[in-house]
């Protein structure tokens, strides 16, 4: 059995403003109709003895993962929650321990990042099958990407045999850190090096044994945290405090660079880590002038640029080698050569205590979403979407009152001791300090316009009395 372990803990800082901490790049449809996470799950279809995926993510993303798996009709998946980010070695350890706890002793873990692009999934599946014999024999298999250019942003793997023969796992001679331009060119010219793509195949027992040997502090912390795991709705929560004691190391540093069991399968499947806007430009379809245009874009005499519009017309004239990304609340303009430095802008936004690094204007919740339309002093206006059958928590606010107008669907409104049914063009008023709940009893999305008024309008002014989703503060 092959158990896909999908690592979904990244924040995609270099793809700001499209990628935000609470809605990062793996949940975005950057290269098609499906998100990168969904594409990762779908590309494995066709592998024999494939188990449902085990997704490792953080607390804030748990409902996004659940919703995107539900949209694919994936059944039997488990979502394993990290109390905090500790890099990939502890995340994979949690997955391995969970597999053991479920009795999947003979399972091979296929560890994949959730935010990569693979142009040819069939080639990936062939590479996975080529690595199975070595993994069954106790090897720790990684997949080395055939380099297409000298790249200073990736680590490299020196192999024991040149790619091109029968596809099989080869011994790893060395893992090499990110090189300078001269060394990267020499590595590619030699034909002896592959890019390190951060993908692995191994038995849970083999990985845990090597983790115990080379990084015992991580192994101990993860075993203790997993021993205290509990099931919460569709999620598996490990014990928080023991996990926080785990050092934050990558699988490469903690295990692969130190083990004598490392093997590598060459992979030539059109791989990209989509690590920057410039990288995204390389994988998106381009026009005759080398431009990748998305959304409402007007481009005249523009060359080799990526222009992305989310919410309004973006017009460009007589420019080249630019990255222009527009969202409802932020616009990025950057030279392509500085694409890797976008994270510096995000750090400035954090330092100024702004919110544009964290969320979009549209914020997703397990029951649906809300979008800020107007905010001014003592009032703000929001557009709220509630999915069929979903409910907000039974809650109360200390500092604001709310007016609700139904513009689509049917709303069941609890206000104090009264429950009312509202249809389109009807409205209601929620006084300050009154317990209330919004529920969608219908079969289509419920859409309402909410007008808040009061002395404080922050999202933390919520007292939850009851919540179907087990969120904190209830």
Within this chain, do residues 123 and 207 fall inside the same structural domain, yes or no?
Answer: yes
Number of Cβ atoms within 10 Å of the Cβ of 318: 9
Residue 257, in any domain of the structure: yes
Written as one string, the DSSP assignment of 147-170 is PSS--SSS-EEEESS-TTSS---E
> Which among 237, 272, 307 is the end of a domain?
272
Residue 32, in any domain of the structure: yes
> Which among 242, 272, 302 is the end of a domain?
272
Within this chain, do residues 13 and 93 fall inside the same structural domain, yes or no?
Answer: yes
Residue 63, in any domain of the structure: yes
Within this chain, do residues 216 and 321 fall inside the same structural domain, yes or no?
Answer: no
Confidence check: pLDDT of 164 > 70: no
pLDDT in tens, 420-467: 999 999 999 999 999 999 999 999 999 999 999 999 998 889 999 998
Within this chain, do residues 261 and 317 fall inside the same structural domain, yes or no?
Answer: no
Confidence check: pLDDT of 298 > 80: yes
Within this chain, do residues 381 and 259 fall inside the same structural domain, yes or no?
Answer: no
What pLDDT shows up at residue 86? 93
Whole-Å CA distances, 280 to 20, 301, 337, 452: 16, 21, 13, 39
Within this chain, do residues 288 and 264 fall inside the same structural domain, yes or no?
Answer: no
Pair of tokens at residue 344: 């510096």
Residue 474, in any domain of the structure: no
> Which among 289, 315, 350 is the end of a domain?
350
Written as one string, the DSSP assignment of 105-124 is TTPEEEEEETT-EES-HHHH
Which one, of 460, 310, 454, lies nearest residue 377 by Cα? Answer: 454
Least confident of 120-134, 233-247, 421-435: 233-247
What pLDDT shows up at residue 10? 86
* Cα 143 to Cα 257: distance, rounded to the nearest angstrom: 14
Within this chain, do residues 135 and 183 fall inside the same structural domain, yes or no?
Answer: yes
Residue 449, in any domain of the structure: yes
Residue 303, in any domain of the structure: yes
The total number of structural domains that make up the chain: 3
Within this chain, do residues 165 and 268 fall inside the same structural domain, yes or no?
Answer: yes
pLDDT in tens, 22-38: 999 999 999 999 999 99
The CATH number that applies at residue 410 is 2.60.120.10
* Cα 9 to Cα 415: distance, rounded to the nearest angstrom: 38
Confidence check: pLDDT of 474 > 60: no
3-state secondary structure of 39: helix
Within this chain, do residues 321 and 379 fall inside the same structural domain, yes or no?
Answer: no
Pair of tokens at residue 254: 């903690």
First vs last C-alpha separation in the chain? 40
Whole-Å CA distances, 331 to 2, 18, 24, 356: 43, 10, 17, 11
pLDDT in tens, 166-211: 788 999 999 999 999 999 999 999 999 999 999 999 999 999 999 9
Residue 214, in any domain of the structure: yes
In 160-261, the DSSP E strands lie at 170-176, 193-203, 230-232, 235-237
What mean pLDDT is predicted for residues 273-295? 95
Within this chain, do residues 172 and 252 fall inside the same structural domain, yes or no?
Answer: yes
In this structure, are strands 262-267 and 140-145 parallel, antiparallel, or unpaired? parallel
pLDDT in tens, 35-70: 999 999 999 999 999 999 999 999 889 999 999 999
| Contact predicate 387/367, CB 8 Å | yes
Within this chain, do residues 182 and 289 fall inside the same structural domain, yes or no?
Answer: no
What pLDDT shows up at residue 234? 77
Within this chain, do residues 177 and 43 fall inside the same structural domain, yes or no?
Answer: yes
In this structure, are strands 54-58 and 78-82 parallel, antiparallel, or unpaired? parallel
Pair of tokens at residue 318: 């007589």
Which one, of 407, 405, 403, 392, lies nearest residue 432 by Cα? Answer: 403
* Cα 136 to Cα 351: distance, rounded to the nearest angstrom: 49
Whole-Å CA distances, 305 to 222, 279, 293, 328, 343: 45, 12, 8, 21, 19
What pLDDT shows up at residue 162? 62
Domain that holds residue 296: 279-350
Residue 147, in any domain of the structure: yes
The CATH number that applies at residue 141 is 3.90.550.10
Q: Which residues contact 82 (CB under 8 A, 6 or more apart)?
A: 9, 56, 57, 58, 59, 90, 91, 94, 238, 243
Confidence of residue 470 (pLDDT cuts 50, 70, 90): confident
């Amino acid at each position: 059995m092959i158990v896909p372990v999908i690592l979904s803990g990244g924040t995609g800082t270099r793809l700001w403003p499209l990628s935000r901490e609470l809605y990062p790049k793996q949940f975005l449809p950057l290269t098609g109709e499906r998100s990168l996470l969904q594409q990762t799950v779908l590309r494995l279809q066709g592998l024999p003895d494939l188990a449902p995926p085990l997704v490792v993510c953080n607390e804030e993303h748990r409902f996004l993962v659940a919703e995107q798996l539900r949209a694919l009709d994936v059944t039997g998946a488990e979502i394993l929650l990290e109390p905090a980010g500790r890099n990939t070695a502890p995340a994979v350890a949690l997955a391995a321990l969970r597999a053991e706890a479920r009795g999947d002793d003979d399972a091979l873990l296929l560890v994949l990042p959730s935010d990569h692009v693979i142009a040819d999934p069939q080639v990936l599946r062939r590479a996975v099958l080529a690595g199975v014999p070595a993994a069954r024999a106790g090897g720790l298999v990684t997949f080395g990407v055939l380099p297409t250019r000298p790249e200073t942003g990736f680590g490299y793997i020196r192999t024991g045999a040149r790619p091109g023969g029968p596809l099989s796992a080869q011994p790893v001679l060395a893992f090499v850190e990110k090189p300078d331009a001269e060394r990267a060119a020499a590595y590619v010219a030699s034909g002896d090096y592959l890019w390190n793509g951060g993908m692995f195949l191994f038995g849970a027992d083999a990985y845990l044994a090597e983790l115990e040997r080379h990084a015992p502090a991580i192994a101990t912390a993860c075993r203790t945290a997993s021993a205290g795991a509990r099931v919460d709705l569709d999620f598996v929560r490990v014990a928080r405090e023991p996990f926080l004691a785990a050092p934050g190391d990558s699988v490469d540093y903690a295990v692969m660079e130190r083990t004598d069991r490392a093997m590598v399968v060459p992979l030539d499947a059109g791989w990209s880590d989509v690590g920057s806007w410039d990288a995204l430009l390389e994988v998106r379809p381009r026009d005759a002038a080398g431009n990748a245009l998305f959304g409402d874009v007007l481009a005249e005499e523009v060359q080799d640029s990526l222009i992305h519009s989310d919410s309004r017309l973006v017009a460009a004239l007589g420019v080249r080698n630019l990255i222009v990304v527009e969202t409802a609340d932020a616009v990025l303009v950057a030279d392509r050569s500085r694409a890797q430095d976008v994270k510096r802008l995000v750090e400035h936004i954090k330092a100024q205590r702004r919110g544009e690094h964290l969320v979009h204007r549209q914020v997703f919740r397990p029951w649906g979403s809300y979008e800020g339309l107007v905010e001014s002093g003592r009032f703000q206006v929001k557009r709220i979407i509630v999915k069929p059958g979903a409910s907000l928590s039974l809650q109360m606010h200390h500092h604001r009152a709310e007016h609700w107008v139904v513009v689509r669907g049917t709303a069941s409104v609890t206000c104090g001791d009264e429950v009312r049914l509202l249809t389109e063009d009807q409205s209601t008023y929620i006084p300050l300090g009154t317990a209330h709940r919004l529920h969608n009893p219908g079969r289509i999305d419920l859409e309402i316009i909410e007008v808040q008024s009061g002395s404080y309008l922050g999202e933390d002014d919520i007292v939850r009395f009851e919540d179907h989703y087990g969120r904190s503060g209830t």
